[in-house]
Structure 1
Amino acid sequence: MKLAEPALNVLFEQFQERSHETIRSELVHCIGLIGYVMLNEGEPKFAQWIFDRLNAVRKNDIQKQLLVSAFRHSIQNEHEILCLSDHIQHISEQLKKILESVVHAPLMIVITDTIIDLSRIYPQVFQEIFTDIVDILIGWYIEPLPTDRILEYTAQALHKFRPFWIEQIEATLTLLDHFIEDADNYAQQFENQEQNNDDNMVSFTDKIAALY
């Protein structure tokens, strides 16, 4: 493991210098493999290393997306080894912080997938950020002009959090109130429109129905 961090640093330097998408993807794949080995050897430092690099590229969503993908690859066996148990609270907060500022769907998706994976392994920690994560996803879900992919993905993600909806019923009711309020605001946007009002309202009611 002594050579792991120097190897990661070299790979990251190459990752930043290369512009070809395929090369970057391969470099990130190698980073994820090293991280996987480190975690399976009981070395949690990889998590801190990856989040330090995420901070270094915080203005580049494509690079963040690839690095989060590497981290997600590294935790494939976390449900058995629980190497990150002493660090999971900090990790979940870091992921939430990144998700709060995301504006591009591919990055939102890979972060949410990672959070879903960790929520199944460490449900007690995820409960602390559940309402924040769901609130963010609902924001994506009710965007006026989301793509079909975003609608489908966010609906599925919200469904995957079903155990937490049930566990935290008071928070669920609060989120539902917010959702209805957003729905009302959304509907009012179309009251003064002369065209496509019916189609837009049908679209929104379809969104609501998809959550049940």
Structure 2
Amino acid sequence: MSGSRNRYGRRSSYQHRQHQTQSHFQHSHSQENRESAKLSRIHSLLSRISDENERRLSHVHQINSLLSDPCSSWEKMQIFDAVTRIQGNSSVFETVFEDIRATVNFKTTVAKCLALIAFNLNNEISSYFHWLFERLQITSTNSIEREKERKIWLLFSLKEVLSRNVSGTSQNVSTSGPFQQFIPGLLQDLEGLLDSMDRSDCFPGILEVLEKIAEKYPQEFGERFQDVIDLLVGWYIDTSVSDSLQSLIAETFKKLRPFWSQYLNFAYELMSHFLADMEVFTGVTVSQEGPQIDKKTAEEETIQSNIKALLSCFHAVADAVATILPQVSSDEFNETTINESTHPYDRLRAWIIKFILVIGEMYMDAEWFEKGASCIKSL
């Protein structure tokens, strides 16, 4: 992800922020005292979150209460710096996320508190995005499970920020406008994360964030739609990916139907590539003249897992666009003659059905028949 660190143009000069606040302090000495008292209180509560397990949920609620009071821009940034400051290997909130003993309710409350602190930054939200992706890129050597928990809850906080951004404030330029300009960079960082990850631990969280961006910022998401789908497809057809993760990606495909309708040619190209790859791997080619079988390539006794993954991904894309494409009758499916005037989608339908049946007869594989039947139903 070269170059992504500075995409948001984060102000890293602490002295610059100090200088900005000096005139503010001179303007109101009493407000300086009030702000100092609030910051001191938040620092105290943050330390207690780490030390007092029995009352730490109450301490987070108290921080939320303090955040509901009016804050200056300087104060908001100081609060953000306090909760994201790295002590040892993690910030105070990340320590909570990594705690295997902490309850889901407590982690949810802390993640929402982090989201509120980030949301309150307004024009300085770039600091949060910069910090978040920096932390998501860090790989822990201590515990895979703790690292997974930390990244899951960091992504949850990001989803919360995006949810807050528009909810109830869509008419307010000061909150929605500044956030909107960061969405293209945010999407590029998410793509970079998808491209660089070597494990799928936090994949569900990334999908939820992508879905939220698609919902709240359709124009910006639409511009990156094909790039996002390419990355999701790459994960889907990875044979090490679990069935449950494939199902989650397939569900995301369906949730993105408004975008598929704008990129039907892209969907057709994807499915055509899936079929072409399956033909290469199996040595079976379908055409108007009938199937052609390369016996040397097709001598495997069982169907390779990557072929099943490709069929499953074909099905996922087909299912996502099924309600968008013109429907054909079962009689048309059964026609043996596909001519040049046939719509490309109809030819693809006919060929994938032929391919599924030919491979099924060759290997008599129960899982293939099940996947094939599901695919045909979606067509």
TM-score, normalised with respect to structure 2? 0.47
Q: How many residue pairs get matched? A: 211
Q: Aligned AA for 1:201?
A: W
Q: Which of 170, 183, 203 is residue 278 of structure 2 equivalent to?
A: 183
The reply to whether residue 205 of structure 1 matches residue 372 of structure 2 is yes
Change (3 A) 1:17 1:183: same
2:240 is aligned with 1:160: no
Partner of 1:6: 81
Distance 1:38 1:137, change over 3 A: closer
Q: Do 2:116 and 2:161's aligned partners in 1 also have CA atoms closer than 8 Å?
A: yes
Give, as a single letter, the amino acid of the residue that structure 2 aligns with 1:67: L
Task: Report 1:81-120 matches (<5 A).
Answer: 81=169, 82=176, 84-120=179-215
Answer 1 or 2: higher relative contact order, Cα 8 Å, separation at least 6. 1
RMSD, matched Cα: 3.3
Report the equivalent of 1:148: 243
| Equivalent residue letter for 2:128 | W
User: Which of these residues, 259, 267, 271, is aligned with residue 172 of structure 1?
Assistant: 267
Given candidates 295, 301, 304, the residue that maps to 1:194 is 301
Cα pair 2:114 2:157 within 8 Å, conserved: no
Deviation per residue, 1:122-146 (Å, 9 max, x gap): 1111112111211222233333364
Shift in CA distance, 132/34, structure 1 to aligned 2, threshold 3 Å? same
SS of corresponding position for 1:128: helix
Please state if 1:75 is matched with 2:162. Answer: yes
* Alpha-carbon shift at residue 111 of structure 1 (Å): 0.6
* Residues 59 and 109 (structure 1), Cα distance of their counterparts in 2 relative to 1, 3 Å cut: same
1:211 CA drift (Å): 6.6
Q: CA deviation at 1:38?
A: 4.1
Q: Which residue of 2 aligns with 1:65?
A: 152
Q: For structure 1, which segment, 185-194 or 123-132, has the greater mean C-alpha deviation from structure 2 after superposition? A: 185-194
Cα separation, 2, equivalents of 1:210 and 1:137: 23
Q: Cα–Cα, structure 1 residues 163 and 42, in superposed 2: closer, same or farther, change >3 Å?
A: same
Whose radius of gyration is greater, 1 or 2?
2
Answer whether contact 2:115 2:158 (CA < 8 A) is retained: yes
User: SS of 2:122's equivalent?
Assistant: coil
Partner letter of residue 194 of structure 1? E
For structure 1, which runs of at least 5 residues remain unmatched after alignment? none
Q: 1:47-76: CA deviations, max 9, x gaps?
A: 542433432451436233331122112222
Specify which structure has the higher proportion of helix: 1
Cα distance in 1 for partners of 2:100, 2:263 equals 42
| TM-score, structure 1 as length reference | 0.78
The answer for unaligned runs of 5 or more in structure 2 is 1-75, 140-146, 170-175, 285-296, 304-362
Shift of 1:94: 0.8
2:298 aligned counterpart, secondary structure: coil
C-alpha contact (below 8 Å) 1:44/1:84 kept by paired residues: yes
Q: Which amino acid counterpart does residue 134 of structure 2 have in structure 1?
A: N
Task: Assess if the C-alpha contact under 8 Å between 1:35 and 1:71 holds in 2.
Answer: yes
**SS, match of residue 106 in structure 1:** coil
Which shifted more, 64-73 or 157-166? 64-73
Counterpart AA for 1:205: G
